[in-house]
A and B are shown apart, each in its own frame.
Chain A
Amino acid sequence: MATVNNWIDHLSASEVQGAIYPGVGSEGILVILGLIIWIGWHVITAKQEKEELEKLARQRRGPNDWKSNITDG
């Protein structure tokens, strides 16, 4: 996985390779992974939010009921 094993050899090469992160060449896979995480996050949080809002709506609280929940420290 390591792209660099020896800095002296790496920097004294006739043409120094710029990219030094692990797994150079696997950028496509990493981006696909990022996309999956990004889309998955939206799906999960959208579901969570919908459930929470529906639960809150079912309680039919009044506009000032929240005041009974103020903590005093």
Chain B
Amino acid sequence: MTDELGALTTIFTEFYYWITVVLMFLIHVGFCMYEVGASRYKHHQHTLMKNTMLIPLVTVTWFLFGWWIYWAFPTGPGLAPSIMNGSDALITDDSAFSAKFYVATSQLMAVNLGDHISGVFWAAFLLFSWTAASIVSGAIIERITTFAFGILAIAIGSVFWTIDAAWGWHFDGWMLKLLGYHDAYASGVIHAIAGGFALGVLVVLGPRIGKFTSSGEPRNIGPRNPWLVTIGLFLIYTGFWGFYAACNIPIFNLGPEYGMEGVTYFTATNIYVTPTTLSGITFNFLMSLSGGLLAGYVVSRGDPFWTYSSGLAGVICASAGNDLYHPIQSMIIGMIGVVIAYKMHYWVERKFKIDDAVGAVAVHGYAGFVGLVICGFVLNGYPSSGYSVGAMWDGSTYASINPLGMFIGAIIMFFVLGMFPGYVIARVLNGVGRLRIPREAEIAGLDYDIMEAAKDDEKSVASATR
């Protein structure tokens, strides 16, 4: 960097993403607290370690291949040509933003004086990966092996969500071009897919012992520590602020980017490089959170567990279009998502005997799915990309946002890239006997031996006189 203004812009952007990463770390702290609070005492420590260990597992694989997938797969491959090189093959050539630069052996994947952005951008996406895996983690507590969860976490965190991000979140993604897909703050690309993946795993994994009576009636296994759940969800809300900011590009000159001669227009943009404002999305974040809390309080009759979760579901439901909605629209959409997610949770539980321990499939999966569908109607006709007016995409124009495209997009996220792979991988793990812990261990409690050792230590220390 040799000119002052360019250096300031670059370092501001580098610092901006770095801050979002630090904020988003709170999402994971929140998920850990939430899961431990929701689990029973005899499983606490294993529950915590399971969710904690996804951090290194997903991080290492995100470095080794996850980040490469994101940059290689926007074309499908084979579904729509890239605006960067005109080819519909995997993007691994010398064109700008090629996956070639983000392979693990690239010199840009390290301390490099010529690149101030790759690391912080990589980390921002990595934190999204942790979130996707952590969503799955909560649903399956108290009966899955840590080994199986590690494999599943890598699959959702470093493979499947990455593919959906390449398809529907990348400015060059085929879903924008062919379907008019729009998902600014990830109703689908993180939440619907992770909820769907969790559901696929739950179908194979089965319920916790005691969840259903012999006649099939569900029993409530409520959170054992509601205060930890409360703090956990507040931390997730807090981290979600960072997530919203991380989904934006803080400053961008759209004039030359769109090929508009002589036009200079600096703005913040969403992930698709279409304009929005940090100010506007702040309105919408808070209003959709409020809508979710209001609806959750009513529909659950003031149940704290569901009310807090509904705040999150409200934001998730409105997130697809929160770059453009009016705040009141965000609030109403958040409310609709919560009511549907809540009702769906109990209907699926009774009908299919699905034991989703923390309501993750509902809060993330159903609310995310509904949010995509609603976005298709409310933003019907908006351009899915600014590049449609330029010369960079010459195959045909990018499709506009539309209800059918968004519905198909929701199906792809929840079922095709979420539930189906989750089900298949869980079946394989189950087939080799590594998915579920032994029945006797589940009854005793995963922490039995740790607790017994702690008790022995305590006795030993208590009887000591020197």
Contact A49 to B146, CB < 8 A, known contacts A65-B448, A70-B451: yes
Contact A71 to B454, CB < 8 A, known contacts A19-B111, A20-B111, A27-B107: yes
How does the 8 Å CB contact mask read for A37-60 relative to B, with 1 for contact and 0 for none? 010001001100110111111111
Kindly provide the distance from the CB of A38 to the nearest chain B CB, expressed in whole angstroms.
5
Spot the interface stretch: B16-24, B26-34, B402-410, B436-444. Answer: B436-444
B393 in the interface, Cβ–Cβ < 8 Å? Answer: no
Across the interface, name the chain A residue whose C-beta is closest to B452: A69
Kindly provide the distance from the CB of B50 to the nearest chain A CB, expressed in whole angstroms.
11
Complex Cα distance A46/B445, Å? 19
Contacts A56-B446, A66-B447, A69-B448 known; list 15 others, CB within 8 Å: A18-B107, A18-B115, A19-B107, A19-B113, A21-B111, A28-B105, A38-B64, A42-B150, A46-B147, A50-B147, A56-B444, A60-B444, A66-B42, A66-B444, A69-B451
Are A27 and B106 interface neighbours, CB within 8 A?
yes
Looking at the complex, which one of B61, B107, B108 makes contact with A24 (CB distance below 8 Å)?
B107
Kindly provide the distance from the CB of B153 to the nearest chain A CB, expressed in whole angstroms.
12
How does the 8 Å CB contact mask read for A1-15 relative to B, with 1 for contact and 0 for none? 000000000000000
Kindly provide the distance from the CB of B34 to the nearest chain A CB, expressed in whole angstroms.
22
B276 in the interface, Cβ–Cβ < 8 Å? Answer: no
Kindly provide the distance from the CB of A26 to the nearest chain B CB, expressed in whole angstroms.
10
Are B112 and A27 interface neighbours, CB within 8 A?
no
Are A20 and B106 interface neighbours, CB within 8 A?
no
Complex Cα distance A66/B450, Å? 10
A68: chain B residues at CB < 8 Å are 455
Kindly provide the distance from the CB of A69 to the nearest chain B CB, expressed in whole angstroms.
4
A65: chain B residues at CB < 8 Å are 444, 448
Are A45 and B64 interface neighbours, CB within 8 A?
no
Are A54 and B64 interface neighbours, CB within 8 A?
no
Number of residues from A at the complex interface, CB < 8 A: 38
B110 in the interface, Cβ–Cβ < 8 Å? Answer: yes
Kindly provide the distance from the CB of B443 to the nearest chain A CB, expressed in whole angstroms.
5
Are A55 and B449 interface neighbours, CB within 8 A?
yes
Across the interface, name the chain A residue whose C-beta is closest to B449: A56
Closest 5 CB pairs of A and B: A18-B114, A61-B444, A69-B451, A57-B438, A57-B440
A-B contact pairs, 9 of them (CB 8 A): A18-B108, A27-B110, A34-B104, A56-B438, A56-B440, A57-B441, A61-B448, A66-B451, A71-B454
Across the interface, name the chain A residue whose C-beta is closest to B60: A38
Are A69 and B444 interface neighbours, CB within 8 A?
no
Residues of A at the B interface (CB closer than 8 Å) are: 16-21, 24, 27-28, 30-31, 34-35, 38, 42, 45-46, 49-50, 52-63, 65-66, 68-72
Across the interface, name the chain A residue whose C-beta is closest to B106: A27
Interface members, chain B 61-91 (any A CB < 8 Å) = 61, 63-64
A72: chain B residues at CB < 8 Å are 458
B329 in the interface, Cβ–Cβ < 8 Å? Answer: no
Complex Cα distance A69/B61, Å? 38
Kindly provide the distance from the CB of B111 to the nearest chain A CB, expressed in whole angstroms.
5
A18: chain B residues at CB < 8 Å are 107-108, 112-115
Across the interface, name the chain B residue whose C-beta is closest to A55: B449
B41 in the interface, Cβ–Cβ < 8 Å? Answer: yes
Looking at the complex, which one of A21, A34, A57, A66 makes contact with B110 (CB distance below 8 Å)?
A21
Across the interface, name the chain B residue whose C-beta is closest to A29: B105
Across the interface, name the chain B residue whose C-beta is closest to A54: B438
Are A34 and B111 interface neighbours, CB within 8 A?
no
Interface hub of B109, B111, B115, B441 (most chain A Cβ within 10 A): B441
Across the interface, name the chain A residue whose C-beta is closest to B43: A66
Are B42 and A71 interface neighbours, CB within 8 A?
no
A16: chain B residues at CB < 8 Å are 113-114
Kindly provide the distance from the CB of B179 to the nearest chain A CB, expressed in whole angstroms.
35
Complex Cα distance A28/B147, Å? 28
B10 in the interface, Cβ–Cβ < 8 Å? Answer: no
